[in-house]
Amino acid sequence: MPSRLPFSLAFLVTVAAILTITTVEASSVHIYPGRHHKTINPTATATPVDALCKQTGYPSLCASSIGPVLSLARSVSPADLTTSNIQATIVKTIQARSLATNLINSHRGSKIYKANINVCLENYDATLDSLRDSIKTIRSNGSHDDLMINLSAALTGITTCDDAFMETPGMASPLAQVNSVLGMSAKNCLALANMTR
């Protein structure tokens, strides 16, 4: 019987330990004081924002969506981070809507093209309503189901805009790139909201 663990088993144990540490840290949003000793463990130096954002589909977008004050906070709740990501998504939706308004007002483009942009405009408005309702739900300590319903509806508004152009083959959406980021942002909101359960 060898006194050392076989390599693959040792590796698995290490991975399991890292996963456990990461999960525990992320779920409790624990901050290491770091005053008494320095550590090179990356999970120990991760900010609470990073720890939560790591659990979303687009961590850097999640982390970049919040202000510098919150990003350095010693503790942050999933609800705080959900709210700031929703606010960031609202800002992006307002920018997308103003781009769509400019596209409508420019005289270029066929009737179908403008009809598609109009679908996007209407859906951006619906997305904004849903995002604003979702913030109200968080602030009023509303139900988790309502929060998820509003955030899902917000994402649907974005995909409906994409679908309009998808249904007119050969017509590229001028909003595709903007919607791609918007969609990631909305998905992050859903992932974060899911942690507030």
In the complex with ligand NAG, the residue whose CB is nearer, 49 or 131, is 131
Nearer to ligand NAG, 122 or 146 (CB): 146
Q: Which is nearer to ligand NAG, 46 or 86 (CB)?
A: 86
Query: 43 or 156, CB closer to ligand NAG?
Result: 156
99 vs 148, beta carbon nearer ligand NAG? 148
Taking the complex as a whole, the smallest distance from the CB of residue 168 to ligand NAG amounts, in Å, to 27
Contacts of 131 (CB under 8 A, 6+ apart): 86, 89, 90, 93, 150, 151, 154, 189
* Interface residues toward ligand NAG, by CB under 6 A: 129-130, 133, 141, 146, 149-150, 153
127 token code pair:
């997305």
Shortest separation between residue 145's beta carbon and ligand NAG, angstroms: 7
Least Cβ distance, residue 139 to ligand NAG (angstroms) = 10
Please state, in angstroms and rounded to a whole number, the distance separating the CA atoms of residues 48 and 30. Answer: 7
Closest by CA to 23, choosing from 7, 1, 46, 3, is: 46
Give the nearer residue to ligand NAG in terms of CB position, either 140 or 177: 140
Measure the CA–CA gap between 120 and 161, rounded to whole angstroms: 4
Q: Report in angstroms how near the CB of residue 131 gets to ligand NAG at its nearest.
A: 8
Q: CA 23 to CA 30: how far, in whole Å? A: 11
Q: Could you tell me the smallest distance in angstroms from the CB atom of residue 64 to ligand NAG?
A: 26
Task: List helix spans (H) across the chain.
Answer: 7-28, 42-45, 48-53, 59-64, 68-71, 78-105, 111-139, 144-166, 176-194
Tokens of 34: 């770091």
Smallest separation, CB 137 to ligand NAG (Å): 7
Question: Could you tell me the two tokens for 40?
Answer: 């090179």
